[in-house]
Chains A and B, each alone.
Chain A
Amino acid sequence: MTSVALLHRITDYANRPDPYPLYAELRRTPVVRDESGPYLVSTYWEIKELLHDPRISSDLRNLTPEAARASGQEHDPNLPPAFIRLDPPEHDRLRRLSMRPFGPPHTPRRVFDMHGELEEIVSGLVDGLRGRDTIDLVDDFSYPFPVTVICRILGVPREDESHFHEWADTIAAGLDPVGTAEEREAQVQGVRRARGELAAYLAGLIEERRRSPRDDMLSAMATEHGPDGQMSPVEIITTAALLLIAGHETTVNLITNGMLTLLRNPDVLQRLRVEPGLAVPLVEELLRFEPPVQMLPQRTTLADIDIAGTIIPKGASLYLMVASGSRDPKRFADPDRFVPDRPDNQHLGFGHGLHNCFGAPLARLEAQLALTALVRRLDGPSLVEDPPPYRQNAVLRGPRHLPIAFSGIIG
């Protein structure tokens, strides 16, 4: 096994528009140790195995101190981690509690019932583009749509959005394994501050909802009692922060990457226009081909683990390169081709195993509705710039802007 500086190249902004050749290089050795410390796993079956391996922990407290320092992922003593950074049984309990007001088995129709509401938001946003011939898809559509949705679901006032947009961005950027030790330190401090401010903001809101509950998730989390008891105030804060950030930072990229891919594949765009049912498999293919979450950098080993002939030692920091795994030719035929109705598409776009994406049903529906509406209603859309400017973040990857030209709004 070689020690390489691949992570540095992957996080290098110059490679943001197309990291896939680097992943292909990475896959030649399914498990490598990066010179900065973490072990990178890049092949489909190995990633999938590790995602189901109970010897893999998401709890930072299990990192060795050196691994924690090297990855800038030290535990924040001020705010306990949300369930995404916890292991069972705490993880399971909190995830169950948060799922109660959001999905099955207790609220199975929540997402489904939002269909009409989501469609309204989408058409409202598209209507708002009338009279223009270029837009930035990110600022004008991809961002406001999921943010409006997550605010409504949680019960966060949309007016406060500008504050937590900044907090969310800072926290998400903290995932990025960038830079020198000093840059790391600055990043950690920034994330801490943002988390603190977001927490204080949410605490106020939750208190309000406890006193006068409404039909939203914050109220439900603050007032409902189930078989698992109730979330503590701090748990509600961390959970709400998690959902707010996840709702901010991923679906935006899914929709933007989706439109970018469609504009690069006009035949597929045309097909979706006349065949709306295609949206369902197409979004799955997007999650495989251009996933918003490129890697899962937050895992550690509880034991020495032998995987693909390499022993990853206990306490190591593990990066699961899911975007690479979803393009593994050993799993997907012709993986670098965008096949909107690809059969047998068990991608890693939402992860797998116990941390698999909580909001997946919502994200899917949002992306399906958004892309269908965009291709139907934008008349003659085309890319102004290819590749578009990307965000810095290599973990949550997507264009920062996506300028699109078109000749009008249909309908």
Chain B
Amino acid sequence: MSVDGYLETLRREGRIVVVGASLAGLRAAETLRAEGFAGTLTMVGDEPHEPYDRPPLSKQVLLGKVPADHTVLPRRRPVDAEWRLGAAATGLDLAAKQVRLADGDAIDYDRLLITTGVRARPWPRELEADLDGVCVLRTRDDAIRLHHRLKAGPRRVLVIGAGFTGSEIASACRERGLPVTVAERGPAPLVGALGGVVGEVAAELQRAHGVDLRCGVQVTGLEGDSAGRVRQAHFSDGTAVESDVVVVALGATRNTEWLADSGLGAGPRGIACDAGCRAFDVRGIVTDDVFVAGDVARSPHPLFGYQFLSLEHWGNAVSQAEVAAHNMISASADRRPHLWMPSFWSAQFGVNIKSVGVPPMADQIIVTQGSLAEQRFTAAYGYQGRVIAAVTFDQAKWLDFYERQIEQAAPFPPEFTTVDRRPEGLQPVPAGFPDPSLPSHGPTVTLSGHSPTDRRVSFTPRRA
């Protein structure tokens, strides 16, 4: 059968399976239908809920403004799918084109989309992690549990990790009037995402709102009482804090274990795919019927040196899902690249934080508008003489402009004058990111051999 004929049949009566029934999965399903896919669509999700939205979980939900079960994602159109909720996928057979489920079922597909996202990284010491009062926040159920804890009026909350989620949780605690300690290994909150200069502003913000912020310390142990409830945390500087709720906000782990022996290029850093969202296998060859989107994907971005970016951003999940869905049912000439400009937002301590581009790539930063001291500013990030990212605190209206600057690889530092340019923004300074040469995650793929003939690609599974 001709390729065109195959596509025709696929669109009319093909079988598409989506594993991961959350934001990316739902938006992909809607796009498939919107673009005329008439075959069978199966949505596999290990959570028992229909797709819901996560950003409110660390914001309105913790404040009690929105109940956790009111975060269901609005539907853009009917998707007419078979929903397999509460059913985890446990394996993938690329050759047989089959997804295996935990309940023993297997589902055949013609095209597969993987959107299994990430999960919260748990507290590494299992006994301590099991103490009553030790929480994480990723799912709706997590949010319900944490909200109950906060409502009960704990004497003090300890948040471990001052990334976006940790900072938002701390913000919600303060808004509820709860004493909160934040422990951060780095020199300031948000430092990994936004660098030290902006991190300092975030630190100021936390302290001004009464957070007991402790930077440059690690939590060395959690201690429980005789009833198994968490009671105290010990820090690397020898201090300790009494706390009856501990929220572990140490980032996320990609949900790729179920693909371990599948032959797909999937590991702890996600599933590598091309700009068209087609997954790579472990040999680095692109597959033609397996697509990926959302937090679990790593895809190359030409603007950023073809770096494989893994983005845990809401907007990315939506846009990548739409591109993936389109490409799944399109001829190769009609396929589109996912060239989304990385961007995200956060709301904490009354400030609306937004970012475009990839700040952590930057070596320098300059405040182009507003002022750090007023906590209302736009900062441009530079990398090798070009603008690579921008961050705003309560100045989101300027972001479109900076986005264009990034797209155009505009020179850094910017040469033009702007409205609201202050003296402090006349000189760039080091952006203050942690040294990228320090190892963070293990490699997923390694190269061996010297001469071209004995060069080998080997896949290194996640370390236990």
**Shortest Cβ distance from B371 into A: residue:** A89
Interface presence of A21 (CB below 8 A):
no
Q: Are B397 and A55 in contact (CB under 8 A)?
A: no
Interface presence of B416 (CB below 8 A):
yes
Within 8 A of A (CB), among B390-427: 397-401, 404, 416-420
Within the complex, which residue of B400, B417, B420 is in contact with A88, where a contact is CB–CB below 8 Å? Answer: B420
Q: A49-B401, A49-B404 are in contact. Are A54 and B370 (CB under 8 A)?
A: no
Q: Are A54 and B418 in contact (CB under 8 A)?
A: yes
Within the complex, which residue of A49, A59, A88 is in contact with B370, where a contact is CB–CB below 8 Å? Answer: A88
Chain A: interface secondary structure? loop
What CA separation (Å) do A331 and B438 show in the bound complex? 47
Q: Are A55 and B418 in contact (CB under 8 A)?
A: yes
What CA separation (Å) do A49 and B417 show in the bound complex? 17
User: Which residues of B lie under 8 Å from residue A161 when comparing CB positions?
Assistant: none
User: Which residues of A lie under 8 Å from residue B370 when comparing CB positions?
Assistant: 88-89
A24 to chain B, nearest CB (A): 26
Interface presence of A354 (CB below 8 A):
yes
Within the complex, which residue of A48, A89, A302, A353 is in contact with B417, where a contact is CB–CB below 8 Å? Answer: A302
A134 to chain B, nearest CB (A): 46
B423 to chain A, nearest CB (A): 13
What CA separation (Å) do A68 and B376 show in the bound complex? 31
Q: A52-B398, A88-B370 are in contact. Are A303 and B420 (CB under 8 A)?
A: no
Q: A88-B370, A89-B370 are in contact. Are A53 and B417 (CB under 8 A)?
A: no
User: Which residues of A lie under 8 Å from residue B171 when comparing CB positions?
Assistant: none
What CA separation (Å) do A10 and B45 show in the bound complex? 59
Q: Are B420 and A55 in contact (CB under 8 A)?
A: no
B442 to chain A, nearest CB (A): 42
Within the complex, which residue of A48, A49, A54 is in contact with B368, where a contact is CB–CB below 8 Å? Answer: A54
User: Which residues of A lie under 8 Å from residue B419 when comparing CB positions?
Assistant: 54-57, 59, 87-88, 302
**Shortest Cβ distance from A53 into B: residue:** B401
User: Which residues of B lie under 8 Å from residue A56 when comparing CB positions?
Assistant: 419
Contact with B along A71-102 (1 / 0, CB 8 A): 00000000000000001110010000000000
Within the complex, which residue of A52, A57, A87, A89 is in contact with B400, where a contact is CB–CB below 8 Å? Answer: A52
Interface presence of B369 (CB below 8 A):
yes
Within the complex, which residue of B399, B400, B401, B416 is in contact with A302, where a contact is CB–CB below 8 Å? Answer: B416
B236 to chain A, nearest CB (A): 37
User: Which residues of B lie under 8 Å from residue A52 when comparing CB positions?
Assistant: 397-401
Contact with A along B79-92 (1 / 0, CB 8 A): 00000000000000
What CA separation (Å) do A55 and B401 show in the bound complex? 10
- Interface contact tally, CB-CB below 8 A: 48
What CA separation (Å) do A409 and B417 show in the bound complex? 59
User: Which residues of A lie under 8 Å from residue B397 when comparing CB positions?
Assistant: 52, 353-354
Within 8 A of A (CB), among B327-353: none
Q: Are B401 and A303 in contact (CB under 8 A)?
A: no
What CA separation (Å) do A95 and B407 show in the bound complex? 31
What CA separation (Å) do A65 and B399 show in the bound complex? 31
Q: Are B420 and A87 in contact (CB under 8 A)?
A: yes
**Shortest Cβ distance from B399 into A: residue:** A52
Within the complex, which residue of A59, A92, A302, A353 is in contact with B418, where a contact is CB–CB below 8 Å? Answer: A302
User: Which residues of A lie under 8 Å from residue B401 when comparing CB positions?
Assistant: 49, 52-54
User: Which residues of A lie under 8 Å from residue B368 when comparing CB positions?
Assistant: 54
**Shortest Cβ distance from A91 into B: residue:** B419
Within 8 A of A (CB), among B63-111: none
What CA separation (Å) do A292 and B459 show in the bound complex? 63
**Shortest Cβ distance from A86 into B: residue:** B419
User: Which residues of A lie under 8 Å from residue B420 when comparing CB positions?
Assistant: 54, 87-89, 92
Q: A54-B419, A302-B419 are in contact. Are A49 and B400 (CB under 8 A)?
A: yes
B415 to chain A, nearest CB (A): 8
Among B369, B376, B378, B416, chain A packs the most CB atoms within 10 A around the CB of B416
User: Which residues of A lie under 8 Å from residue B400 when comparing CB positions?
Assistant: 48-49, 52
Among A54, A55, A87, chain B packs the most CB atoms within 10 A around the CB of A54
**Shortest Cβ distance from A353 into B: residue:** B397
User: Which residues of B lie under 8 Å from residue A354 when comparing CB positions?
Assistant: 397-398
Beyond A88-B419, A302-B418, list 10 extra A-B contacts (CB 8 Å).
A52-B397, A52-B399, A52-B400, A54-B378, A55-B416, A59-B419, A88-B370, A89-B374, A89-B376, A89-B420
Could you show 16 A-B contacts with beta carbons less than 8 Å apart? A48-B400, A49-B404, A52-B398, A52-B399, A54-B368, A54-B398, A57-B419, A59-B419, A87-B419, A89-B374, A89-B420, A92-B376, A303-B416, A304-B416, A353-B397, A354-B398
Residues of A within 8 A of B (CB): 48-49, 52-57, 59, 87-89, 92, 302-304, 353-354
Ranked 9 nearest A-B pairs via Cβ? A54-B418, A303-B416, A87-B419, A88-B420, A52-B400, A52-B401, A354-B397, A302-B417, A53-B401
